[in-house]
Structure 1
Amino acid sequence: MNETEPRILVGVDGSPGSRAALRWALRYAELCDGRVIALIACAIPALIDVALMLEDDVAANAKRELEKAVEETRALLGTRRPVERRVVRDHAARALLEEARAQDVDLLVVGHRGHGGFVEAMLGSVSQHCVHHAPCPVVVVRRSA
Structure 2
Amino acid sequence: MTDAKPRIVVGVDGSPGSRAALRWALRYAELSDGDVTALIASGPPVFIDLAVPMPGDDAADRADRELHEAVEETTALLGSDVHVNRVVVQDHPARALVDEARGADLLVVGHRGRGGFVGAVLGSVSRHCVNHASCSVVVVRRPHEDGH
Q: Answer whether TM exceeds 0.5 for this pair.
A: yes
Superposed CA offset, 1:2-32 (max 9, x none): x700000000001000000000000000000
Alignment of 1:120-135 (within 5 A): 125-135=124-134
Superposed CA offset, 1:63-118 (max 9, x none): 000000000000000111110000011010000011111xx10000000018xxxx
Work out the CA distance in 1 between the residues paired with 2:15 and 2:27.
Answer: 18
User: Which ranges in structure 1 are unaligned for 5 or more consecutive residues?
Assistant: 115-123
Partner of 1:93: 94
Work out the CA distance in 2 between the residues paired with 1:36 and 1:18.
Answer: 14
Give 4+ residue runs of structure 1 displaced > 6 Å after superposition: none
Partner of 1:139: 138
Partner of 1:70: 71
Normalising by structure 1, what TM-score? 0.85
Work out the CA distance in 2 between the residues paired with 1:91 and 1:105.
Answer: 19
- Report the identity percentage: 68
Alignment of 1:35-50 (within 5 A): 35-50=35-50
Work out the CA distance in 2 between the residues paired with 1:128 and 1:51.
Answer: 32
Superposed CA offset, 1:44-78 (max 9, x none): 23332332247971100000000000000000001
Work out the CA distance in 1 between the residues paired with 2:32 and 2:5.
Answer: 8
Q: Which has the larger radius of gyration?
A: 2
For the Cα contact (< 8 Å) 1:38–1:84, is it kept in 2?
A: yes
Bigger relative contact order (CA 8 A; separation at least 6):
1
User: Which ranges in structure 2 are unaligned for 5 or more consecutive residues?
Assistant: 114-122
Higher helix share: 1
State the number of aligned residues: 132
Q: CA RMSD in A?
A: 2.0
The answer to whether residue 93 in structure 2 is matched with residue 112 in structure 1 is no
Work out the CA distance in 2 between the residues paired with 1:53 and 1:91.
Answer: 21
Alignment of 1:7-86 (within 5 A): 7-53=7-53, 57-86=58-87
Normalising by structure 2, what TM-score? 0.83
For the Cα contact (< 8 Å) 1:111–1:127, is it kept in 2?
A: yes
